[in-house]
Amino acid sequence: MTPIPLPAYEQVKAFVKAQINLGVWRPGDAVPSEAALQHQFGVSRMTVNRAVKELAVEGVVTRVQGSGTVVAQLHRISSTLAVRDIHEEIVERGHIHSTTVLLVETVRADAALAQTFNVRVGTKVFHSAQVHCEDGVAIQFEDRYVNPASAPHYLDADLTQTTSTHYLLEHAPLTEASYSIEAALPTASEAKALGINKSAACLVMKRRTISGTRVASFARLVYPGTRYSFSGNFQL
């Protein structure tokens, strides 16, 4: 099968995972100590340590210093939900990305915006709205507010040539982000811009990005439920 033999640490990982998947070791059971595995496989402790450490990172086992390693109670069904630049995402699927810029303006922060950006009410904030299309079909409405302190020249950006996500990553290095995904009906203007019915369910992602010590941007991304979905795969 594999002309190139697996690295030693992968063999150790495979062995441990096999015991778990076959039900030989059940959740809560102890996994052999590093010393035991070291002798069993005839490898150094560093190698065994790497194998088990990676399994711990993957959530397959739980380690407690001084106590030992046990099979994780609930193999959590988790996977990395990657939030990418919409342009890259579309191009990677081999499709054509186009965008219509609906609005670019400067506004004064109201109470809600001020709280989001952690600034005083009345502070200037940039605002843009656009629709992203994949092969001509609208799949995302992007309503974004940008902190001028993080990207002072945001209004000069040509959003038809560079996505705002990309522009911001270039000009305000990302240090932190938080998001939420929920379902909602579109507003009247969103429905119109997306070309969908007002009663069509949409995925709404709200995302706040932080650059350094400042809140750099807040975006509300609306996806028609029938045209877009998040998906993921999880192994182990």
Residues within the interface to its own copies (CB under 8 A): 20-23, 27, 46, 57, 74-85, 88, 166, 169-170, 173-185, 199, 201-203, 207, 209, 212, 223, 225-226, 228-236
The interface partner of residue 161, options being its own copies, DNA, none and the CB cut-off 5 to 8 Å by kind, is none
d(CA 132, CA 100) in angstroms, rounded, equals 7
CB neighbour list of residue 112: distance below 8 Å, 6 or more residues apart: none
Q: How many residues bind DNA (CB under 7 A)?
A: 27
| Rounded Cα–Cα distance for residues 184 and 77 (Å) | 25
* Contact assessment for residue 208 and residue 178, using Cβ atoms and an 8 Å cutoff: yes
Asked if 57 is part of the footprint of DNA (rule: CB under 7 A), the reply reads no
Using rule CB under 7 A, residue 33 touches DNA: yes
* Residues of this chain, 65-124, that bind DNA according to CB under 7 A: 65-69
| 126 interacts with DNA by CB under 7 A | no
CB 144 within 8 A of CB 129: yes
Rounded Cα distance between 118 and 73, Å, is 40
Q: Which is nearer to its own copies, 23 or 136 (CB)?
A: 23
* Of positions 18, 24, 35, 236, contacts DNA by CB under 7 A: 35
